[in-house]
Amino acid sequence: MAEGRWGALTILCAGVVGVLATWFSATAILPELTRLWALSPSQGAWLTNGVQIGFVAGALGASLVNLPDIVRMQRLMAVSSGVAALANLGLLVAGPEAAIALRILTGIALAGVYPPALKLMATWFVRGRGLALGLLIGALTLGSSLPHLIRAVTEGVDWRAVVWASSGTAAVGAILFAVALKEGPHAFARAVFDPRKAAQVFTRKPLMLANLGYFGHMWELYAMWAWILAFASAAREVPFGTPSTLSFIVVASGAVGCVLGGVLSDRIGRCWTTAGFMAVSGSCALLIGLAFDGPAWMFGLIALVWGMSVIGDSAQFSAAVTELADPAFVGTALALQLGIGFALTVVAIWIVPVIAALFGGWQWAFLILVPGPVIGTWAMLRLRRMPEAVALAGGAR
C-alpha cells in the first residue's frame, strides 16, 4: 500500500502508464494490420477512432449516472484495467470487424481508468495539484507512446509482440490499482445519482470556458498523436532513425511538457499556462508542413516542440475543473469534460487523412488542427478575466 501523497502518485502513475499502453497498440502496428487484413484507409482509421468512440461512450455514460462519484475509484479502475487488457489481447485472434469492436470496448474500459485517476489524485493533492496532475498526464503520455517504442525495438519481429506487451502492462496496472492504492485525506463527498449535475458543465460560465479551452486543445492533440506516424512515413527525411522511433520520441516528449506545464501552472496560473502552450502547439501545427521536405533537423525540432507543447497543458484543464466544479460531483464533471473532448477527437482523427487526400499528400494536412488551439487560447484568456478564476491554482489564475 502506498504511503504518503508522493507514494500514492507514484503508484497511480505507474498503473496509468501500463494501462494506457493499450490506447495506441493497434495504431503502432497499423502498417502490418493493413497488409494482413487488406484494410482500406477508412478501416485503418477506425482502429484508432474505435478507442476514441468507446472512451466517449464510457465517459458520457459514466457521467450521466455519476458513476465516478458513486463507485469506489480503485475498484472501478482495477476492473476497467482488466477489461482493457483482455480486449486488447483479443486482437491476436480477431479479424477486421472484430478488431474494431474490441477497440471500442478498450476505449469504454479506459473511460473507467482515466477520469477516476484524475479525481483520485486530487484526494491526495490540494497544494501542488497542478504539478501532480502534470505528472499524471505525463504518465498517460508515456503509456500512449509505449506501443511505438515496442514496435521500434521489435522492428522485424512479429507484430503480436506489441499486443502481448501492452496487454501485459495493462494487467500489471490493474493489480497495482487493486492492491496498492487508496484514497487520500482530502476525499470528495460521496454522491448519489443526480443527472441534473451534469448540466452544470454547460450552465456555469467559468466551468464552460475551462471546458471550451480543453475542447480546443483536444481537437489538436489526438489527431496529431494518431497521424504523426503516417506524416513521418510520407516525409522525405525522417529524423531519429525510423518513423516509429520518431513517433515514440514525439509522443513521449510530451511527458516533459506535462511536468513543465504543472510547474508553471502552480506558479503563474492555469490560464496563462494553457494559453501559452496552445499558442506554441498551434504554431507548430501551422509550421510543420514547411519541414516536410527537409531538412531533417528542422522537422525533428518542430515535431519535438509540438510533442511537448501539444499535451503539456492538458492536465491543467482537469485541474481547473476540480477547482471550479461542485466538490461532490468532481468525478462527473471530469468524465463529462473528457467525454465531450474525446468526441471531438473522433472528428479530428477522421478529418486529417481526408484533408491529406484532398491536398494530394500529408504535407499540409495538419493545418486543419490550427483552429482548435486558437479557440482554446481565447477561452482561457477570457476565463482569466472572470472573478471566479480566483479559485484556480490558489489564486494564481
Residue pLDDT, tens place only, 82-93: 999 999 999 999
Give the least confident one: 57-61, 206-210, 340-344: 57-61
Query: What is the arithmetic mean of pLDDT over 23-27?
Result: 88
Percent pLDDT > 70 in the chain is 91
| Burial class (CB within 10 angstroms; exposed 0-12, middle 13-18, buried 19+) of 87 | buried
Is 189 a domain residue? no
242 falls in which pLDDT band (50, 70, 90)? Answer: confident
Q: pLDDT band at 193, cuts 50/70/90?
A: very low
Q: What is the pLDDT of residues 291-313, one digit of tens each?
A: 998 798 999 999 999 999 999 88
User: For position 135, what pLDDT does the model report?
Assistant: 86
Task: Write down the pLDDT at residue 244.
Answer: 86
Q: Say what the pLDDT of residue 122 is.
A: 78
Q: Please give the average per-residue pLDDT across 71-97, as a whole number.
A: 91
pLDDT digit string, tens, across residues 27-51: 888 888 888 888 887 788 888 889 9
Is 187 part of any domain?
no
* Average pLDDT of every residue of the chain: 86
Query: pLDDT value at position 166?
Result: 94
pLDDT over 80 (residue 276): yes
For residue 212, what pLDDT band results from cuts at 50, 70 and 90? very high
Structural domain for 177, as ranges? 4-181+198-395
Is position 117 within any domain? yes
- 293 DSSP assignment: T
Query: Does the residue 215 lie in any domain?
Result: yes
More confident residue, 266 or 243: 243
Asked if residue 226 belongs to a domain, the reply is yes
The Cα 20–Cα 27 span in angstroms is 13
C-alpha span between 168 and 88 (Å, rounded): 10
User: Is 131 a domain residue?
Assistant: yes
Does the residue 170 lie in any domain?
yes
pLDDT at position 189 over 80 = no
Cα–Cα distance for residue pair 79/332, rounded to 1 Å = 19
Mean pLDDT, range 264-287, rounded to an integer: 92
Our count of domains for the chain comes to 1
Q: What is the CATH number of the domain that holds 245?
A: 1.20.1250.20
Cell of 316: 491543467
- Whole-structure pTM value: 0.79
Q: Is the pLDDT of residue 373 over 80?
A: yes
Q: What is the mean pLDDT of residues 227-243?
A: 87
Q: Which amino acid is at 310?
A: V
104-139 residue pLDDT tens: 999 999 988 987 887 888 788 877 777 787 788 888
- What average pLDDT does the segment 171-183 reach? 90
C-alpha–C-alpha distance, residues 310 and 284, integer Å = 9
Q: How far is CA 218 from the centre of its chain?
A: 8
Confidence band of 194 (pLDDT split at 50, 70, 90): low
- pLDDT score recorded for residue 265: 84
Predicted confidence at residue 236, as pLDDT, reads: 82
- As a whole number of angstroms, the longest Cα–Cα distance in the chain is 58
At 204, the pLDDT band (50, 70, 90 cuts) reads: confident
Give the separation between CA 96 and CA 99, rounded to whole angstroms.
5
The fraction of the chain above a pLDDT of 90, given in percent, is: 39
Q: What is the pLDDT of residue 299?
A: 93
pLDDT at residue 103 is higher than 90: yes
Confidence of residue 378 (pLDDT cuts 50, 70, 90): very high
pLDDT greater than 60 at residue 2:
no
* 232 occurs within a structural domain: yes
